[in-house]
Amino acid sequence: GQQLNQSPQSMFIQEGEDVSMNCTSSSIFNTWLWYKQDPGEGPVLLIALYKAGELTSNGRLTAQFGITRKDSFLNISASIPSDVGIYFCAGLEGSNYKLTFGKGTLLTVNP
């Protein structure tokens, strides 16, 4: 099946720093999604990307759909303690219903 390589696996940063994480795939995706998961909860959608080259922001978060359609990155600027959690990328091929998830990036923010 499809595989997504998400990196880094974990990050430990100071409050106020910027963060960058990315996902790469061996195959092309038509949609890239970024989710955040807080402890004890389900993943919550942060940003959805539908077009190669697309750059989308949501507050302090910015994500891009790679031009090759095989990668995406997520940046968080000026991190705050509530940014702590696990961030997942996910890719969707067409309308085949099956999302492929990366293994997640665990973000820890030191106040």
Partner 1 sequence: NAGVTQTPKFQVLKTGQSMTLQCAQDMNHNSMYWYRQDPGMGLRLIYYSASEGTTDKGEVPNGYNVSRLNKREFSLRLESAAPSQTSVYFCATTPTGNQPQHFGDGTRLSIL
Measured CA to CA, the distance from residue 79 to residue 14 in angstroms comes to 8
Q: What character string, x for contact with partner 1 (CB under 8 A) and - otherwise, covers 59-88?
A: -----------------------------x
Hey, how many other C-beta atoms are within 10 angstroms of the C-beta on 15?
A: 12
Residues within window 86-105 making contact with partner 1, judged by CB under 8 A: 88, 92, 94-99, 101-104
Q: Does 39 bind partner 1 (CB under 8 A)?
A: no
Measured CA to CA, the distance from residue 72 to residue 61 in angstroms comes to 13
Paired with 24 in beta bridges are: 5, 71
Q: Footprint of partner 1 on this chain (CB under 8 A)? A: 1, 4, 6, 30-31, 33, 35, 40-45, 48, 88, 92, 94-99, 101-104
